[in-house]
Amino acid sequence: MARLVMKFGGTSVANIERIRNVALHVKREVEAGNDVAVVVSAMSGKTNELVAWCREAAPLYDPREYDAVVASGELVTAGLLAITLQGMGLAARSWQGWQIPVLTDSAHSAARITGIDGSRLIEGFGRGEVAVIAGFQGLHEASGRVTTLGRGGSDTSAVAVAAAIGADRCDIYTDVDGVYTTDPRIVSKARRLDRVSFEEMLEMASLGAKVLQVRSVEVAMVHGVRTYVRSSFDDPANPGSGTLICDEEEILEQQVVTGIAYSRDEAQITLRRVADKPGVAADIFVPLAEANINVDMIIQVVSGDNAYTDITFTVPGADYERARKILDERRDSLGLTEIEGATDVVKVSAIGVGMRSHAGVAARAFRALADKGINIRAITTSEIKFSVLIDAAYTELAVRTLHTLYGLDKAEG
């Protein structure tokens, strides 16, 4: 008998029919003798609707009340699933985040989990009870207020609950049957991966792959929670195995490159003829950091006389206008002669722990992209990945080129 957490996203619980399908997946695991906790998202589209209502009510809304509103979507799903399970003859009860409790900090709408007491859930297992938990939410104990964890927060809820109750595994059910070598919508030869290391999945999630929320992978890696990505649309009586996210040691044969990711939410900013002196970089990037604008790729080119430098960097596309405004306000103090920007760019990345022991992996990509006439605007590298910034028009060509280059295409036939 195992103890497991099953998490179902918004598309998996979009209506009553799909909730019944979810209940069949849960029933299968219960009948196999497992202790089961289920974490659910709001029904598809409901969170967006609740957010829109908050904005309509008041453009400058109280974030505490915002959380009270948007957390309600998961409560509805949890109650409906518990009712459905009971109708199938299973003992089940719904749990709100504060009832467990899932404790968080006070950062409303983007709270981080500080602790979970899993004892009440474990007591319920002793009574043969399925715990149906509203994901995405917690409690700031000092204020007694409900908090939410940010978009995709139900993934984090599920992995954190799994760690708290000592679960043998955490199954994340979504609308795809696992983690692929790249987006199958772009590359028809993309393959489903049987296993991916925590580190690789963390890079994939942060570099554009939408399968899991980045923070959920961080929590899984820190606590060693073996996590499966599976499809809720598989036959509940005969589901696929999905993709296991696990320690690198569990993967016997590791390819040099495991996957290709891309992110369209990118913007490039170039500052021309910045004075090349100590403190200038801090004057540029500290205000951006204080505005919670994440800077990724940074390239600095110093002039021949060492008096000036050009600095190019990327920010999320959604933050581009804010970043330009902050820099424009500091144009005189920074001595900026020109600020250039581009939003028609894409970041394409190759990820693989095998890069640690192989030289020239990135160089092969640079040559292959050049042969296709693709210009590279910026490059960043780390131990297990490299990223290139290119014109958005070449996204699909670049992804397909790298996918084939590193032998990730599935065999024909």
Q: Are residues 157 and 185 in the same domain?
A: yes
- Residue 29 — very low, low, confident or very high, per pLDDT cuts 50/70/90? very high
Residues 376 and 389 sit within 8 Å (Cβ to Cβ): yes
Tokens of 332: 């005189």
User: Per-residue pLDDT for 401 more than 70?
Assistant: yes
Q: Does residue 159 belong to any structural domain of this protein?
A: yes
295 is known to lie in a ligand binding site: no
Summarize the confidence of residues 151-172 as an average pLDDT. Answer: 95
Q: What integer pLDDT is reported at residue 246 of this predicted model?
A: 94
Model pLDDT for residues 329-373, shown as the tens digit of each residue? 888 887 787 899 999 999 999 999 989 888 889 999 999 999 999
74 is known to lie in a ligand binding site: yes
Q: Are residues 358 and 283 in the same domain?
A: yes
Q: Are residues 193 and 318 in the same domain?
A: no
Q: What is the longest distance spanned by two Cα atoms in the chain?
A: 79
Q: Are residues 237 and 346 in the same domain?
A: no
Q: What integer pLDDT is reported at residue 306 of this predicted model?
A: 67
If you ran DSSP here, which 8-state letter would residue 79 be given? H
Q: Does residue 221 belong to any structural domain of this protein?
A: yes
Model pLDDT for residues 233-260, shown as the tens digit of each residue? 999 999 998 999 999 888 877 789 999 9
- Residue 151 — very low, low, confident or very high, per pLDDT cuts 50/70/90? confident
Model pLDDT for residues 283-302, shown as the tens digit of each residue? 999 999 999 899 989 988 87
341 is known to lie in a ligand binding site: no
Looking up tokens 């399970």 gives 85
Q: Does residue 83 belong to any structural domain of this protein?
A: yes
User: Per-residue pLDDT for 308 more than 90?
Assistant: no
Q: What integer pLDDT is reported at residue 305 of this predicted model?
A: 65
200 is known to lie in a ligand binding site: no
CATH number at residue 372: 3.30.2130.10
Model pLDDT for residues 63-97, shown as the tens digit of each residue? 999 999 999 999 999 999 999 999 999 999 999 99
Q: Does residue 9 belong to any structural domain of this protein?
A: yes
Pair type for strands 145-148 and 130-134: unpaired
> Could you give the dihedral angle defined by the CA atoms of residues 87, 92, 97 and 103, in that order, rounded to the nearest 10 degrees?
-170
Listed residues 209, 226, 249: the one ending a domain: 249
61 is known to lie in a ligand binding site: no
Closest alpha carbon to 351 in 325, 328, 382 = 382
Q: What integer pLDDT is reported at residue 303 of this predicted model?
A: 65
Residues 278 and 360 sit within 8 Å (Cβ to Cβ): no
Identity of residue 49: E
- Residue 274 — very low, low, confident or very high, per pLDDT cuts 50/70/90? confident
Share of the chain above pLDDT 70, in %: 98
Closest alpha carbon to 258 in 178, 148, 372, 345 = 178
Closest alpha carbon to 154 in 5, 318, 2, 14 = 5
Listed residues 225, 249, 273: the one ending a domain: 249
CATH number at residue 95: 3.40.1160.10
33 is known to lie in a ligand binding site: no
285 is known to lie in a ligand binding site: no
Q: Does residue 158 belong to any structural domain of this protein?
A: yes
Looking up tokens 């696990």 gives 246
User: Per-residue pLDDT for 405 more than 90?
Assistant: yes
Q: What integer pLDDT is reported at residue 413 of this predicted model?
A: 44
Q: Are residues 185 and 317 in the same domain?
A: no
Q: Are residues 11 and 101 in the same domain?
A: yes
Of 150 and 133, the structure prediction assigns the larger pLDDT to: 133
Of 26 and 359, the structure prediction assigns the larger pLDDT to: 26
308 is known to lie in a ligand binding site: no
Q: Are residues 183 and 298 in the same domain?
A: no
Q: Are residues 240 and 376 in the same domain?
A: no
9 is known to lie in a ligand binding site: yes
Q: What integer pLDDT is reported at residue 304 of this predicted model?
A: 62
User: Per-residue pLDDT for 179 more than 60?
Assistant: yes
Q: Are residues 277 and 171 in the same domain?
A: no
Q: Does residue 255 belong to any structural domain of this protein?
A: no
Give the residue numbers spanning the domain of 96.
3-249
Q: What integer pLDDT is reported at residue 338 of this predicted model?
A: 87
Tokens of 135: 């994901």
Query: How many domains does one find in the chain?
Result: 2
Q: Does residue 410 belong to any structural domain of this protein?
A: no
Mean pLDDT over each residue of the chain, to the nearest integer: 93
Q: Does residue 411 belong to any structural domain of this protein?
A: no
Give the lowest-confidence range in 50-54, 144-148, 331-335, 377-381: 331-335
Q: Are residues 30 and 137 in the same domain?
A: yes
Residues 274 and 310 sit within 8 Å (Cβ to Cβ): yes
Q: What integer pLDDT is reported at residue 167 of this predicted model?
A: 97
Summarize the confidence of residues 47-76 as an average pLDDT. Answer: 95
176 is known to lie in a ligand binding site: no
Give the lowest-confidence range in 60-74, 97-111, 184-198, 271-285: 271-285
Listed residues 249, 270, 304: the one ending a domain: 249
123 is known to lie in a ligand binding site: no
Q: Are residues 182 and 46 in the same domain?
A: yes
Residues 153 and 99 sit within 8 Å (Cβ to Cβ): no
Of 176 and 277, the structure prediction assigns the larger pLDDT to: 176
End-to-end, the C-alpha distance of the chain in Å comes to 39
Q: Are residues 223 and 272 in the same domain?
A: no
373 is known to lie in a ligand binding site: no
